[in-house]
Structure 1
């Protein structure tokens, strides 16, 4: 539809400058960043202990399971507890004067409004999650029978607390659209939390003391493989929900360069792409190398990989993930609306504050067909990538084992 057909009749031609779209105060983004890091970190670290690191450690010994679980549980408890002042600070700083009103923030919890209930649940559930995981911070309980149940219950509480940040605080006019948007946001947030928080947990486990040196090869081989499967599911969730959010807020690639929203989103996409490349490096080179060296019994090269290269790569991935979370709060409004208002300002004599907003996009049959095709394609790529990386692991392991066997046979002949 041409722009002239979308503008109200009272808008007249003028030489008004295009409205600027500031990034917003750096302080606001820093406050929001602390909330996202703590809450998503809690969910990610807890998930890592439940589905990847814990099962890998259990295969080695009860002592390793206790050490690994205790370290991750302590980190999760710290993150869960720190999330409470982070959330309250975000609420306290939400006023128009830019100050910090902690009393008003505290009083807003469960104040009878839907927003107050959601904020109250956010604070309450993250504390409940931390309390459930807290017993596992002690090694005596970290390998007990209740480990799985406590981790699962804590993860559930943390996931719902994270979800309250995107639950609607008013009765929607369109239940179908609002429900779909909420599901997409949950996929985006939970996928990012499990992936980025899991990376932070892996970086924490590389610090000496959690896994004995003699057990590192067996532990990391299983832990990385399990986490890789989880991470690929997270990447699929982030990609699919990100495509929907892109469709909803951006009208074409050109707006990635012509609007402030698009530029910020472009930076976020570049960092996310770098994370994907590092993940592919882990999946197709580092992990197969760890397995091959372990199968061949080459302890010295394996020690170098586990002590130097793997921690460095995981730490860089963690820092990039935290950078993504810092960039995200700068996304205000939508590229569609910013471009629409910029065009409207060039043909309007009204104040910039009175410019109209572009209506929300409406999904058509072609939109659903394209979305379904994208979903199938993303899932197929993730499954193919995981299968191919497993094939690389098996081939490199078989080759390393064969070389080790040949070297042993040659040594026997020389001795004879």
Structure 2
């Protein structure tokens, strides 16, 4: 149930962000018909995910509210806005995702999808969905340390929103690659700028997920050895491996597939290679989607902290006492060296993303120029002379 909740909430945010940041601007250049078709398809998928998020959240709450191990939906419904902080956050989560779906619902009609209200409805829906996703990690009680709690919340927001825009955007690209969204005559002018825009957004998401993940690793893990010696560490290790697979596929897209699609666009996209690449692109993106869904399946198993699990295991070896409350270590304290390392990591990750994006853009321009030169007809004078 936790997996379903994450998929629906993050998918809603990602599909809406794709329509705002990448697919919408590219479709507008291709023509009003393409803009209407692309927006309507993404809006329909986003509305479906937004509506499915409500029973997913309620079922998760019903499982926790049941005293018999079943699902108490009455108690789950009554817990929304029950006066507690948990109730307020759960109520906001359900309310805002419904508001987001309602705002985007008019865009499922093609006549509205290309109209002047399109941009405002998408922006408002994206804002509502982003806050609904954030409520899952907002603090449920007044913090003792506002600075630390605020920074932790910021890191979680980067982690969730970065993953949502990345994964949901990939789902949207797969949907747009299916027949009916983009006319064959407009594919060359649509896909290259869409992929390029999404590539920039995805690399920003990679930076956000990586940096926030490094902070969460520092907060919950005391060294690489705990990745093997604790349950939290082993689950985190699996998640890191899956994330690494996503990065490798992203590198393949960024430095091999995307530049060649740019080259096909420059050459008119009429050669058989164009069909090959446009078929391979959905397959690679589909594989990325499956890996991303697997990451979301693994993530709910991350409970507690590797630091506390290792600490509790050490105490259990030397004590036979049974207690209801397990002892926990105090939270880590950030020192000057911690901030120095964090700043260096941030600068390095951002620099790598910028350099990678520029290198891939340069490759695209070079291959586009080479492709255009290769398909340009020869000078008639040369043919006569030959």
Place the TM-score, normalised by the shorter chain, in its bin.
over 0.9
Residue 343 of structure 1 aligns with which residue?
A: 314
SS of structure 1 residue aligned to 2:224: coil
Residue 77 of structure 1 aligns with which residue?
A: 47
Residue 5 of structure 2 aligns with which residue?
A: 35
Residue 365 of structure 1 aligns with which residue?
A: 336
Residue 361 of structure 2 aligns with which residue?
A: 390
Q: Quick one: distance in 2 between partners of 1:387 and 1:247?
A: 31
Q: Quick one: distance in 1 between partners of 2:172 and 2:384?
A: 47
4+ residue stretches of structure 1 with deviation over 6 A?
Answer: none
CA contact (8 A) 1:345 1:352 kept: no
Q: Quick one: distance in 2 between partners of 1:241 and 1:353?
A: 33
CA contact (8 A) 2:188 2:268 kept: no
Q: Quick one: distance in 1 between partners of 2:33 and 2:380?
A: 37
Aligned residues: 383
Q: Deviations over 1:75-115 (max 9, x none)?
A: 00000011000100010011464310000000000111111
Residue 200 of structure 1 aligns with which residue?
A: 171
- Cα deviation for residue 298 of structure 1 reads 4.6
- Cα deviation for residue 352 of structure 1 reads 6.1
Distance verdict in 2 for CA 1:399–1:97, change over 3 Å: same
Residue 409 of structure 1 aligns with which residue?
A: 378
1:116-131 mapped onto 2 (5 Å cutoff)? 116-131=87-102
Q: Deviations over 1:184-206 (max 9, x none)?
A: 00000000000000000001101
Among 75, 98, 113, the alignment partner of 1:104 is 75
Among 63, 66, 80, the alignment partner of 2:33 is 63
TM-score scaled by length of structure 1: 0.90
Q: Quick one: distance in 2 between partners of 1:267 and 1:191?
A: 19
Q: Quick one: distance in 1 between partners of 2:242 and 2:298?
A: 10
- Cα deviation for residue 354 of structure 1 reads 4.9
Q: Quick one: distance in 1 between partners of 2:263 and 2:212?
A: 36
Q: Deviations over 1:270-320 (max 9, x none)?
A: 1101001101111111111111122223512212211x2011011111111
Residue 284 of structure 2 aligns with which residue?
A: 313
CA contact (8 A) 1:344 1:355 kept: no
CA contact (8 A) 1:217 1:302 kept: no
Larger relative CO (CA 8 A, sep 6+): 1 or 2? Answer: 1
1:16-415 mapped onto 2 (5 Å cutoff)? 31-95=1-65, 97-299=68-270, 300-306=272-278, 308-351=279-322, 353-405=324-376, 408-409=377-378, 413-414=382-383
- Cα deviation for residue 357 of structure 1 reads 1.2
Q: Quick one: distance in 2 between partners of 1:274 and 1:259?
A: 23
CA contact (8 A) 2:188 2:269 kept: no
Unaligned runs of 5+ in 2: none
Q: Deviations over 1:119-176 (max 9, x none)?
A: 1110000000000000000000000011000000000000001111111111111111
Q: Quick one: distance in 2 between partners of 1:222 and 1:314?
A: 16
Q: Quick one: distance in 2 between partners of 1:337 and 1:97?
A: 29
Q: Quick one: distance in 2 between partners of 1:352 and 1:221?
A: 61
Q: Quick one: distance in 2 between partners of 1:121 and 1:245?
A: 25
Distance verdict in 2 for CA 1:99–1:415, change over 3 Å: farther
TM-score scaled by length of structure 2: 0.97
SS of structure 1 residue aligned to 2:2: helix
Q: Quick one: distance in 1 between partners of 2:345 and 2:224?
A: 17
Q: Quick one: distance in 1 between partners of 2:333 and 2:320?
A: 29
Unaligned runs of 5+ in 1: 1-30
Distance verdict in 2 for CA 1:400–1:269, change over 3 Å: same
